[in-house]
Chain A
Amino acid sequence: MAQQTPVADSAVGVRDPRLIVTAKSPSGLASAVVRRLRGGELGPAPVLIGLVLICVVFQSLNANFLSPQNLSNLALQIVAPGLMSCGVIMVLLLGEIDLSVGSVSGVSGAVLAVLAVNQGLPEIAAIALAVVSGVVIGVLQGTVFAKIGVPAFVVTLAGLIGWQGMQLYLLGSDGTVNVPYTGAIAYLTQTFFVPVIGWTIAGIAVALYLVLNILGERRRAAAGLPAKSLIEIAVRTVFLAVPVFGSVAVLNLWKGVPLSFLIFVGFVVAFDLMLRKTRYGRMVFAVGGSAEAARRAGINVDFVRISVFALASTLAAVGGIMAVSRAFAISQSTGSGDVLMLAIAAAVIGGTSLFGGRGSAYSALLGGLVLGAITSGLYLLQMDSSVRFMITAAVLLIAVILDAVSRRSRKTHARG
Chain B
Amino acid sequence: MTQPVLELSGISKRFGAVQALSEVDLRVDPGEVVALLGDNGAGKSTLVKVIAGVHPADTGTIFWDGRAVPVAKPGDAQQLGIATIYQDLALCDNLDIVANLFLGNERTTGGVLDEVEMERRASELLDSLSVSIPSLRIPVASLSGGQRQIIAIARSLLGDPKVVMLDEPTAALGVAQTAQVLDLIERLRDKGLGVILISHNMADVRAVADRAAVLRLGRNAGDFRVEDTSYEEIVAAITGASDNAVSRRAGRVSVPGTEEA
Contacts and interface: CB of A to CB of B under 8 A. Distances in A.
Nearest to A2: B176
B132 A288 contact: no
B135 A416 contact: no
A278 B111 contact: yes
A277 B103 contact: no
A286 interface: yes
A219 B132 contact: no
Interface in A245-298: 277-279, 282-283, 285-286, 288-290, 292-294, 296-298
Interface string B162-199: 00000000000000110110010000000000000000
Contact of A289 (B92, B130, B183): B92
Contacts of A290: 90-93
Contacts of B106: 279, 282
Contact of A296 (B90, B93, B123, B177): B90
Interface stretch (A15-23, A151-159, A171-179, A398-406): A15-23
A286 B141 contact: no
A1 B142 contact: no
A416 B142 contact: yes
B94 interface: yes
B123 A416 contact: no
Interface in A289-318: 289-290, 292-294, 296-299
Interface in B107-132: 108, 111-113, 116-117, 119-120, 123, 127, 130, 132
Contacts of B103: 282, 286, 293-294, 297, 299
B139 interface: yes
Contacts of B140: 416
A220 interface: yes
Contacts of A26: none
B94 to A, nearest CB: 4
B221 interface: no
Contacts, number: 116
Given A2-B179, A289-B94, A278 B113 contact: yes
Given A18-B134, A277-B113, A293 B180 contact: no
A24 interface: no
Given A15-B133, A15-B135, A289-B92, A298 B105 contact: yes
A225 interface: yes
A49 interface: no
Most chain B Cβ neighbours within 10 Å, of A286, A357, A413: A286
A224 interface: yes
B116 to A, nearest CB: 5
A7 interface: yes
Contacts of B130: 4
B116 A358 contact: no
B154 interface: no
A410 B138 CA distance: 12
Interface residues of B, number: 40
Nearest to B174: A2
B236 interface: no
Most chain A Cβ neighbours within 10 Å, of B94, B120, B139, B141: B94
Name A's interface SS.
Answer: loop
Contacts of B138: 415
A298 B104 contact: yes
A390 interface: no
A16 B104 contact: no
Given A3-B180, A414-B142, A357 B135 contact: no
B107 to A, nearest CB: 9
A19 to B, nearest CB: 4
Contacts of A15: 123, 132-136
A150 to B, nearest CB: 25
Given A3-B180, A294-B92, A296-B90, A16 B141 contact: no
Contacts of B116: 216, 219-220, 223, 225
A286 B90 contact: no
11 contacts: A4-B132, A223-B116, A223-B117, A225-B119, A278-B113, A289-B92, A290-B91, A297-B103, A357-B94, A415-B138, A416-B94
Interface of A: 1-7, 15-16, 18-19, 216, 219-220, 223-226, 277-279, 282-283, 285-286, 288-290, 292-294, 296-299, 357-358, 410-411, 413-416
Interface of B: 86, 88, 90-95, 99, 103-106, 108, 111-113, 116-117, 119-120, 123, 127, 130, 132-142, 176-177, 179-180, 183
